[in-house]
Structures are given as structure tokens and as C-alpha cells.
Structure 1
Amino acid sequence: MKKLTKNIFLIGLAVSTLTSCDNSYLDLEPKVSIDESAALNTSKDIQVTLNGAYDGLSDVNVWGGGSQYIKELLVDDRDVVFGGTYTTLDEIWRKTIATTNGDITNLWLDSYNAINRVNNVMSAISKVDDANRNRVEGEARFIRGALYFDLVNLYGKFWGDGDNNTNLAVPLILTPTRGITQDDYRTRATVAQVYAQVIDDLTKAEQLLSSQVDNYGFASKNAAAAMLSRVYLAQGNYALARDAANRVITSGVHALAPTFADAFADGSNTEELIFRIIVTDQDGANDLNTFYGSTASNGRGDIRVQSKFLSLYSSEDSRGKFFERVNNLNFTLKFADRYGDLPIIRFAEMYLTRAECNFRLGTTVGALPISDINKIRDRAGANLLTNLTLADILKERRLELAFEGGNYLDIKRTKQSVGALTSNSNALTLPIPQREIDTNKSLVQNAGY
């Protein structure tokens, strides 16, 4: 997918201009920008706008890497060392974040930028032709639901940490922002309100979309179900998380890559990836490569894996060998390809989620918990387990999904400490960016900042 232009908006809350992709999937003429007066008049215009939402989602500050490494660094307990010169990332890793931190500001702005593009699509969904309307609405809802799930977990108290109905999250904006007035300065919605919208969007997305193998970076029915499984798992709603993961597993659309390394080998991992961000040598960027990749892999070599983490793998486990050593420092090979697509949801996660939920509930929907865990371990060449504990399952998630952005949710939902910090420490929640506080007097800052 070749994206042409990224127009950055001021939307904290801000205005959306529209970009497009040259994409056979939508068969649209590429356009750099569209005049607002004619932007949403035809079915193709609206599909171009949807492409712009995907473009925003893939921004380096969002799912092009920023969202993932911010989460990983924020709950890191010396599994890695940040050795780079970027003070903004060093602040996150050390849990001493300034409210003016550029990375947390850009994540907020660019997420709302993409949400605003989705809201433009939704405002004109009735104009989309019958053949494409369900797909366009489903994909738009997937993007918006997934982005709000990120925002509520990073900038608000985690689900269950106090009263979800009074804890503040982020502004919940569901209509287009095309010009800034006093009415656009929204207050922060509650955690419960944002979660309700996330579940509504993703549930409707699953209903509207069709099943297909990843479809090269576009949302599908299984992508929506897989994201729902994450949401329900974060809430501790194990029955619904299990059932959503089971729907993906039993759909017959996806499969584990033959080897763990194959899951990250661009071009050979189509069935494993439920949703990914497309990166090409013509456009797009892989900021996980930038910071996790060694200099030998065209990265900066800033995030260095420590022996503390490597020692978690048993000697026969191929996942423990999926690292490279450069200048006496260790780096993950997951993002070694500078132009490799970024895995957002992998099929392996669905087995891990189903196993955990079945184990907690004492059920065997789809399979025995130990069977699902051993399926993942067998693929990695690790010794199979003969008995299973919850600690085994949580460790398996850590070994399999390391550095992909999921550890933040696992630390928070299972209430694990990070060094001397408890999981609900103010230092493990991002501050509302200072530029938003200064601009929008309706916002209040998080505790501790």
C-alpha cells in the first residue's frame, strides 16, 4: 500500500484534512488532499477519507511504533535498558515524565487526528454505495475503537482501579471537528464511558466486516474479534474474552506460522498476522526497528535487552535465541527488518488468551488450557508442560509477546509491581499533555503531575 501524503492536523482537538492511498483494494484514484466543501460528497470520497484514517493509525507516533514502545518502556523493570539520547523516551523508561514530553503529546495528537478522520467517515456513511457500506463502517469503527482503547488505558486509570464511573479518561469525540470553537473544548469522559464506546465500536465492526486473511493491513471480522478479546481481558471479563478469542481460532482463517522466526519474516507470515501495519521502502516507517533494532539492523540500538530477561527462556526455546548481539549488547530480532510490517495482533495471542480465560474459569471451550499453551511452546521448540499454573500462562505471554506492546496491559490487569511502583502508581499513567491543558481549560491533569 503506497500512501501519498500525511497531513498533520492540530486536533487536540483539531481539523482533519484528508489523504488517500493508491490501493487496488479500494480502487481509488490517489489524491494528496481534498477541498473540505467536496470532501464527503461521494462514496469514493468517503473511502479516500477512510484510507486517511489508516494513514493516521500507521503514524510513527501511533501504531507505527510509538504506542508500542511507550507502553513497553513505561512498565519496564530493567528487562531492557534505554541507552539512547532521546530524553523523552528516557523519561518514560525512568517513569519521570514531564507534561511537556513530546512523545506522549504526539501520541495524543496523532491518535485524535486519526479518530477525527474516522468521525468524518462516519458522518457521511449513508453516502457510501451499498456494496461497500458495511465494510467502510466496520473498518472505521475498528480504527476508532482500537485507538480509544489505547488512549483510555494510557491516559486514564486502568479498569477496576477505583470507580470506573467517576475515574477520568480522555475526551470522547464521535463527531467531526472541522473548526475550533469553545464547544470543541471537551471534558474528559469517564473510564466506563470510553470502554462502552470501545466495545460498541468493535462489536459493530465484527458484525459488519467479513473474514479474510489480514487483507494486507485492512481490518477484518477477526481483527475486530481479536481486539475485543483484549478489551474484555483488560476488564477481567474472562468469558467474553475467551469467546472472542475462540471465534478467531475456530474461524479457520488464520494459523500459526511454522516457526517463531517465520512469524516475523515479512512475506511468509500472512496467516499468523490478524492485523498489521504495512511498511514499505516507498512510504511508512517502522519505529520499532528504529529503537529496538541494532545498528546492524538499520536501527539506532537504543533499547537493549538485558540478561535478566533472556534468562527467562529455557535453553531449547527458539524464542530465547531470537536476538542478536552487536557490540556486546543484545537486541530483539522481531523488528530487524527496517521495512517489515508491524505485527499488531498475532494469532498466537488468541491461544494464550483462550488458555488463560479457560484456566481462570475452569472451562475447556475450544481446548484444554494446557493444550493451547503447549501449541505455542511446541512451535517454539520449548519443552511441553505436563501441568499448568496461572503463573505459567502469564509467563508464556511474556515470552511470546515480548516488546510488541502487550506487556503494559498484562502488568496493569494482573496488578504486578514495576520495581518499587505498584501497578496503579501515578507514575505508570501518562500525563495529559501540557499543550492540551493550556489550550482546553475544561481538562484536568492526572494525579502526580
Structure 2
Amino acid sequence: MNKIIKNILIAGIVFNTLTACDKELDIEPKVSIDELTALNTSKDVQVTLVGAYDGLSDGNVLGGGNQYIKELLVDDRDVVFGGTFTTLDEIWRKTISTTNGDVTNLWMDSYNTINRVNNVLSAINKVDQAEKASVEGQARFIRGMLYFEMVNLYGKFWGDGDNNTNLAVPLVLTPTRGITSEDNRTRATVGQIYAQILEDLTKAEQLLPSSLTNTGFATKNAAASILSRVYLAQGNYALARDAANRVIASGVHSLAPTFEDAFNDDTNADELIFRVIVTDQDGVNDLNTFYASTSNQGRGDIRIQSKHLALYSPEDTRGQFFNVLNRNVFTLKFADRYGDLPIIRLAEMYLTRAECNFRLGTSIGATPLSDINLIRNRAQANIFSSLTLSDIIKERRLELAFEGSNYLDIKRNKIKVGTIDYNANALILPIPQREIDTNKSLIQNAGY
């Protein structure tokens, strides 16, 4: 990583306390603070944390880029990319160049955000005691989640060979405030990155409050939900199940009344465990940009095909949650240009608990059949009388389509993408060429 953060650019932000309390912190807007004085006070550190959340919501990160890159990379004609952006067309066609701008921006902006987190953690002892635990938990949540995304995209998937020798991404845990030879980091192994992810997210779950008045920040359940994803990727079904069950059993969240309600900011507050906030003044919804039709203020670049539509049974309302414009079909999940982006929904936790219980022959929290039928009932789909693992995997595809989860499911279940093996070089992103050129310690992925 060679991007320097010398300034913290946060202007006009009113920051609510990150504890479970309701009181507001009186934090003045900061513009271009010198790095030597930026982290002197508790307020400074908390403003920097807000900057980390701003980086997380960047259009190239969880503001949409991370999700659509993953979906396009493992797409097998469920969609057609009909836009003019050659970078996205390369990803969809699995012919990615090492200079691909979307791949480069995802890397750069993710590390930019990690650097902001590292600045927060470097000054955690400056934070007032009442807020310290939550601030640290928030920072570790962001870092753990971003490294989980990056290790899966830029390295071999967990268990595909030796995790202790397979190269992933550089592991940077201290602030980068100037470039020296020490900043030319080598790529850590998949095993090393996963160890850090688990450390960060486990600590985050311990430190974070159960609920917050500010819905744009992570909670204990958000950390547990990402932990559930990590354990699922590792095939650690008992721990994935238990983490999902903790979220469900907490009673903090509930499913929206209908599937459509799950994607409406007025009705999905209880279902969304973590979201990226988007308003008409701030935030980016690049899933709307590329997935929504022009009638819903998108570009209409990603068009749903009959192959995907055929997955739904006729009565399933999820199969009706599309609109047609000029004979092209578009998902309505991201129809609101200023709608918040769902990063973790409670429905996913039910699906994960069901799958893990099924694989293990257990019924922690509920039986697999009960959990799957709960999700299907909400979608008005026919109820199952019996269940197979294939049914559960398909249910994830129907419920979580286009939200970024299919990449994880393809990789962990070793499913081919057409004729391409799940672990083919074409389904792993290249290390950006600009990083290879500036950091001679980096080794490019095979096939590039």
C-alpha cells in the first residue's frame, strides 16, 4: 500500500455518541488537520473514526463497487452487462487487465479506509473512557470486514491449497503517514489475514454496544454477523451457526413484513443489521447506478436475464421484484437512488443458521426446515415439507441475489461458473499494476 493519509477531510459532520447513550458529542468540523495534531484529543479520534466510515461507504468500496465486482466476477449469464464501462465489462467477461480502474480503486480506497482505522487505533488511549470501548470496536469492525473482502478477492479462497503459503494482501496494522522503504510491504498469507480478521471481529463483538441511536454505525450484532460469514467461508459450520444464532436470539432485529419492505428505508429498519447510509446530501449508491433502470435514475447497465428469472417459482414475490424497460429487466432492490445500501440483513442469518444446522445435523435455535420456511413464507413462496442442502444454497441465491453474497457462496461451495472452476485464476482479481510498479516487494497473482 502506497497511499498516504496526511490529512483528515471531514467537514460539517455532527457526530452522535458511539455508546449506547443518547447524548451528543460537541465535535467541531475538522478540515485539513495536520497529522501531528489531528489525534490529540478524544474528539479528534472520533472524528477520524467518522472519516473511516466515510471511506467504507465510498462508491468503490461498500458504496457499491465491492458488491457489483463480486457479482459480475462470478456471473454465469444471470445478467448481461450492457454498459460502456470497459472496466466492468472486463470483470463480467473474466478478462481483467492489471490496469483495470475498478480493481485498482477498490484496492486503493479499501487501504485508504484501513489507514484511517489504523490512525484511530494508534490513538485509542486518547479517547474518553466512556466512549473508548465502542470506538475501538467500531474501528476493528471496519478493518476486519475490509480485510475479509480483500483476502477473498485478491487471494486464493480459504482451503484452496495451503492457507499458510498462499499469498493474499499486505497486512497493514499501523498508520502510514509517509512513504519509506518500510512501507513496501509483502503480501501476507491467507492464513495470516484470516487470523487478523478473526481477532478484529471477535474483539469488536465484545466491545460494541447492542444498539445505537445512529444506525450508520456497527453494533455487536453487526460484528457477529460478519464473523458468521467468515466462519462460513472457512467451513467452520458450528461457529458460523452460533454467531448467526446470537444475532437472531438477541431479539434486536426482525424481518420486514414483506420482501419488498426489506428494501424500503421506511420499513426495513429492524431487518438491516448494518447498512451504508445514503442521503441526497451525502453518500453513494452505486448499486442503483448500475443495477437500476433509467426510470429509477440508474444507468441500466446490468440487465437481468431469463436464466435468473427462471429460478423463482411463479408465486414467489422475489421473482416479481423486477421492472421492465425497453424489453430489459432490472432488479428493484436498488431502485431508490438515495436508498441505504443493505450490507447485512437478518434474512442472511436465518439462511446461515439453517445451512449450518443442516450440515451438522443439529437444530440450534430452530430446525433448518423452520428457518428456510420462515424466509419462504415472507416471500409467499410454497413451503417445503422436506429439505436438501441444494435447496438451502438455492434459497440463498434467491433471497440475496445481487447483494454481493454469490461470490462467497460460489467459492466456498466450489461451484463452477459455467465451465470455469471456482478457483481458476480468472476468478481472482489481479494485484493492481500501479501497486506492482511502485512496490517491488509485491508478487502478481498467477494468470496475470
If the length of structure 1 is used for normalisation, what is the TM-score? 0.97
Given the alignment of the two structures, is residue 17 of structure 1 paired with residue 7 of structure 2, yes or no? yes
Residue in 1 aligned with 2:443?
444
Residue in 1 aligned with 2:235?
236
Say what the alpha-carbon RMSD is for the aligned residues: 1.0
Q: Are the equivalent residues in 1 in contact too, given 2:148–2:197 (CA < 8 A)?
A: yes
Q: What is the Cα deviation at residue 16 of structure 1? A: 4.5
Between the aligned partners of 1:111 and 1:171, the Cα distance in structure 2 is 12
Of residues 177-186 and 26-35 in structure 1, the stretch that sits farther from structure 2 once superposed is: 26-35
Q: Could you report, residue by residue, the CA deviation over 1:212-265 in whole angstroms, capped at 9, with x for unpaired residues?
A: 168421010000000000000000000000000000000010000000000000
Q: What is the Cα deviation at residue 267 of structure 1? A: 2.3
What letter matches 1:388 in structure 2? L
| Aligned partner of residue 290 in structure 1, secondary structure | helix
Structure 1 residue runs without a partner (length 5+): 1-10
Residues 16 and 354 from structure 1, CA distance in 2 versus in 1: closer, same or farther, beyond 3 angstroms? farther
Q: What is the Cα deviation at residue 32 of structure 1? A: 2.7
| Aligned partner of residue 344 in structure 1, secondary structure | strand
Q: What is the Cα deviation at residue 372 of structure 1? A: 0.2
Q: What is the Cα deviation at residue 14 of structure 1? A: 2.6
Residue in 1 aligned with 2:22?
none
Q: Are the equivalent residues in 1 in contact too, given 2:2–2:183 (CA < 8 A)?
A: no
Between the aligned partners of 1:431 and 1:41, the Cα distance in structure 2 is 39
Residue in 1 aligned with 2:260?
261
Given the alignment of the two structures, is residue 284 of structure 1 paired with residue 283 of structure 2, yes or no? yes
What letter matches 1:405 in structure 2? G
Residue in 1 aligned with 2:301?
302
| Aligned partner of residue 443 in structure 1, secondary structure | coil
Residue in 1 aligned with 2:317?
318
| Aligned partner of residue 36 in structure 1, secondary structure | coil
Q: Are the equivalent residues in 2 in contact too, given 1:16–1:117 (CA < 8 A)?
A: no
If the length of structure 2 is used for normalisation, what is the TM-score? 0.97
Q: Are the equivalent residues in 1 in contact too, given 2:184–2:439 (CA < 8 A)?
A: yes
Q: Could you report, residue by residue, the CA deviation over 1:181-215 in whole angstroms, capped at 9, with x for unpaired residues?
A: 00000000000000000000000000000111684
| Aligned partner of residue 334 in structure 1, secondary structure | coil
User: Runs of 4+ in structure 1 displaced over 3 angstroms?
Assistant: none
Q: Are the equivalent residues in 1 in contact too, given 2:245–2:353 (CA < 8 A)?
A: yes
Between the aligned partners of 1:313 and 1:432, the Cα distance in structure 2 is 37
Given the alignment of the two structures, is residue 109 of structure 1 paired with residue 100 of structure 2, yes or no? no
What letter matches 1:150 in structure 2? E
| Aligned partner of residue 53 in structure 1, secondary structure | helix
Between the aligned partners of 2:346 and 2:14, the Cα distance in structure 1 is 26
Q: Could you report, residue by residue, the CA deviation over 1:35-79 in whole angstroms, capped at 9, with x for unpaired residues?
A: 212100000000000000000000000000000000000000000
Q: Are the equivalent residues in 1 in contact too, given 2:6–2:34 (CA < 8 A)?
A: no
Q: What is the Cα deviation at residue 24 of structure 1? A: 4.2
Q: Are the equivalent residues in 2 in contact too, given 1:214–1:220 (CA < 8 A)?
A: no
Aligned ranges 1:382-401 → 2 under 5 Å: 382-401=381-400
Structure 2 residue runs without a partner (length 5+): 18-24
Q: Could you report, residue by residue, the CA deviation over 1:335-376 in whole angstroms, capped at 9, with x for unpaired residues?
A: 000000000000000000000000000000000000000000
Count of equivalent residues: 439
Q: Are the equivalent residues in 2 in contact too, given 1:19–1:51 (CA < 8 A)?
A: no
Residue in 2 aligned with 1:183?
182
Residue in 1 aligned with 2:76?
77
Between the aligned partners of 1:80 and 1:298, the Cα distance in structure 2 is 19
Between the aligned partners of 2:415 and 2:66, the Cα distance in structure 1 is 21
Residue in 1 aligned with 2:21?
none
What letter matches 1:110 in structure 2? D
Residue in 1 aligned with 2:330?
331
Between the aligned partners of 2:349 and 2:212, the Cα distance in structure 1 is 15
